[in-house]
Structure 1
């Protein structure tokens, strides 16, 4: 006998919980990944918020050096792309048993050499893009090509040197304590990149505008970058040459996209200066989206290399389980950074004198639109950005693997570019939804 409508409905309702044990079982299996991921993301978020305070504190510098804001998202994103991909490649080498802690030869040495060369070349490339795209698109800038080369390259070298040390320390600790680098490397390196890059950019501005020296110094930086690339491609080990050959095209695309984000930021800088809490939120928002995508890309890349996931156009259940993990991370992270941004802004307004705030270009009465508005804005925009990160991570890893390329090299740069551009757009959409931008 055919079941009645009520019986069919009851059957569907009773059948629903069958999915939950599967999901809960997976989350139970991944409790260590959840713990490691949340700890790394929390540390990363706190670091990013400090970077945001640093960004909000240089509003006068941004107003005086028109065009400097163009470099900020690009310089930050490039550090994350280079060192995040490096960490992902090292993680895969550890998982596959090909890693040895040796700075003279092998995977670690090749990755260190590649990071140095790519940092130099990408910094010069970003400087050229920043100067000439701003002219083509009509975005005003007071900086010359010489200024951009010095600021971008010196900041890249300063931040890159410290990031390299941090990457090596994280690698050594991960090997010694048997941590899964896929869960921690992207958040830690993106946070460190943000914290280091902003002060480095400001410090580098003191080297511009010096007669004779500035022009000569910029020329030397360009020559050193070109020489590093030539030596790596001509005399480097096969692994180093492969990393450079595969990284250069994707980093060039990444640089182009994130420079567009910087141009958009410079064009909308007045809206962010109206509520400086948005400048506190911005680094954390953009980079946590990239960190979430980096976690997913690293996990997917390792599983593709190990044969646990097939490179299919439609994701398998194993991939969807990792997607679920990333969305769980996302909700916690974006609620936290939204609320924390407001509390930090309120704390600054309460503890710093109006005169001191004014010297920073801040108005203590209009730092934030409100606690719940910031949580809603951050969460809405964050979930949109996370969806972009998930799609970029999966299809970036799958496509690169099917083309015979290394997903570790392509995954994180693709995510960085996609999340920075779409993340910034999602933030603007959320600002419009909450009535904070037109």
Structure 2
């Protein structure tokens, strides 16, 4: 079992909290611009299938929320000194399976809700099966990413002697925002057809370089 050295209260100072979180938030804020760039690059794909736009905010929000739940539970166990970074830790696996079960349930429901909203807004929503596949597959992939990020961020915080309460949730939620858009876009392109995401991004970057 592991716990934070020196006691968790040692990090409860303005200097410690700001010193830890400020550089992290600056870097994450810059990276967040990437999700906007992806959305702008795939504007035609999303406008051609407006029902997909219903998925975007919920997808990135729920991915971050699931990661935040696991990060919070891991941080609590670390502070209590009962966390084990061991594949045989049954409590850790219970938490992971709970997150995956939540993701499967939420993103399945999201597919049906998005279909209904799309029907109300456009009158001609995407095929329900396509929407369910996009929602569930991208949602489960994002949940796996959130789990890996949560465990990784907690472990790195522990090894560096940082308070995971200051680091894990900002890292997990912001990175899930970025990767959520990318994963959703990749899955949508795979299901609906179209040029691969990296090809579209390279073309957009090339066009920007020509302008400059």
* TM-score, with structure 1 as normaliser: 0.40
SS of 2:162's equivalent in the other structure is: coil
Match of 1:274 among 48, 65, 82: 48
2:120 corresponds to 1:330: no
Taking the TM superposition and a 5 Å limit, the aligned residue runs for 1:327-406 are 327-349=100-122, 364-365=123-124, 368-406=125-163
Q: 1:308 aligns with which of 65, 72, 82?
A: 82
Q: Shift of residue 315 of structure 1? A: 6.9
Distance (whole Å) between structure 2 residues aligned to residue 252 and residue 239 of structure 1 = 20
Q: Is the 8 A contact 2:35 2:179 kept in 1?
A: no
Query: Per the alignment, do residues 426 and 252 of structure 1 end up closer, same or farther by CA in structure 2, a change over 3 Å counting?
Result: same
Q: Find runs of 4+ consecutive structure 1 residues off by over 4 angstroms.
A: none
Please tell me whether residue 252 in structure 1 is matched to residue 9 in structure 2.
no
d(CA) in 2 for partners of 1:266, 1:380: 22
Confirm or deny: 8 A CA contact 2:38 2:182 kept in the other structure.
no
SS of the residue 1:400 aligns to: helix
Q: Report the CA distance shift for 1:436/1:344 in structure 2 as closer, same or farther (over 3 A).
A: farther
Q: 2:41 & 2:86 partners in 1: Cα distance?
A: 38
CA shift at 1:249, angstroms?
1.3
Residue by residue, what CA displacement relative to the aligned partner does 1:13-44 show, whole Å, maximum 9, x if unpaired? xxxxxxxxxxxxxxxxxxxxxxxxxxxxxxxx
Which structure is larger by alpha-carbon Rg, 1 or 2?
Answer: 1
The equivalences for 1:409-424 within 5 A come to 409-424=166-181
Q: What count of residue pairs does the alignment treat as equivalent?
A: 186
Distance (whole Å) between structure 2 residues aligned to residue 288 and residue 299 of structure 1? 17
The answer for unaligned runs of 5 or more in structure 2 is 1-8, 196-212
Q: Per the alignment, do residues 314 and 418 of structure 1 end up closer, same or farther by CA in structure 2, a change over 3 Å counting?
A: farther
Match of 1:14 in 2: none
TM-score of the superposed pair, with normalisation by structure 2 = 0.81
Q: Distance in 2 between matches of 1:422 and 1:376?
A: 18
Question: Could you report, residue by residue, the CA deviation over 1:100-138 in whole angstroms, capped at 9, with x for unpaired residues?
Answer: xxxxxxxxxxxxxxxxxxxxxxxxxxxxxxxxxxxxxxx
Shift of residue 296 of structure 1?
Answer: 0.4
* Structure 1: tracts of 5 or more residues without a match: 1-97, 99-237, 350-363
CA distance in 2, matches of 1:389, 1:346: 31
d(CA) in 2 for partners of 1:340, 1:298: 28
What is aligned with 1:18? Answer: none
